[in-house]
């Protein structure tokens, strides 16, 4: 993970409120990123996750919980795997595309298969 502001490496740091990712260029660069349950949350991953949430709301009118349930049923994922926060950028993009496609065409698509493959890779 590199700093989106200065391009330096991001390293794990410990602060008053626990661990977080901080720029190696500190104190010249003060960019930080939150640390997720499975490691650092990349800024672009986080933005993509927000976009995926947005797609659920705008295309389906679903809440996060409803979207997660749908993911579990459609993709055969468990509760933890179906959390959009754990998805990387590529998975979020696939998800957004899948939501939109399903809305018009319906049914299982190649995107769902790709999603499942991406999830399997992530587990290894
Ligand atoms: Zn930086």
CA of 38 to the centre of ligand 1 (A): 22
- Quick one: tokens of 114? 């790709």
What confidence score (pLDDT) does residue 26 get? 92
CA of 92 to the centre of ligand 1 (A): 25
Looking at the chain, which runs of residues are DSSP E strands?
10-15, 18-23, 32-33, 35-36, 39-40
What confidence score (pLDDT) does residue 106 get? 47
pTM, to two decimals: 0.54
CA of 42 to the centre of ligand 1 (A): 13
Domain residues of the chain, as ranges?
10-40, 43-123
Residue 116 main-chain phi, psi, to 5 deg: -65, -40
What confidence score (pLDDT) does residue 73 get? 83
Of 36 and 86, the structure prediction assigns the larger pLDDT to: 86
What residues sit around ligand 1, an ion, with C-beta below 5 angstroms?
3, 5-6, 8, 23, 25, 29, 31
CA of 32 to the centre of ligand 1 (A): 8
Asked if residues 85 and 49 have their Cβ atoms less than 8 Å apart, the reply is yes
CA of 71 to the centre of ligand 1 (A): 35
Least confident of 3-12, 24-33, 115-124: 115-124
Q: How far is CA 103 from CA 76, 97, 100, in A?
A: 19, 10, 5
What mean pLDDT comes out for the span 27-36?
A: 85
- What digits encode the pLDDT tens for the residues 80-117? 777 787 777 888 888 888 777 765 554 455 556 666 66
- What digits encode the pLDDT tens for the residues 41-83? 677 777 888 888 888 888 888 887 888 888 888 777 788 777 7
Using the Cα atoms of residue 59, residue 102, residue 113 and residue 73 in order, give the sign of their dihedral: positive
- Quick one: tokens of 93? 């993009």
What confidence score (pLDDT) does residue 55 get? 84
CA of 43 to the centre of ligand 1 (A): 13
Determine the Cα angle at 29 with ends 24 and 30, to 5°. Answer: 95
């Amino acid at each position: 993970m590199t700093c989106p502001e200065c391009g330096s490496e991001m390293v794990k740091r410990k602060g008053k409120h626990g661990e977080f990712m901080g720029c190696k260029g500190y104190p010249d660069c003060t960019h930080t990123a939150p640390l997720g349950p499975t490691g650092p949350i990349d800024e672009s991953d986080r933005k993509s996750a927000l976009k995926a949430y947005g797609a659920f709301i705008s295309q389906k009118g679903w809440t996060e919980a409803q979207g997660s349930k749908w993911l579990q049923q459609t993709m055969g994922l468990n509760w933890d795997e179906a959390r959009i926060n754990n998805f990387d950028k590529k998975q979020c993009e696939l998800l957004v595309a899948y939501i939109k496609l399903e809305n018009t065409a319906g049914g299982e698509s190649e995107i769902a298969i790709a999603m499942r493959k991406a999830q399997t890779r992530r587990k290894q």
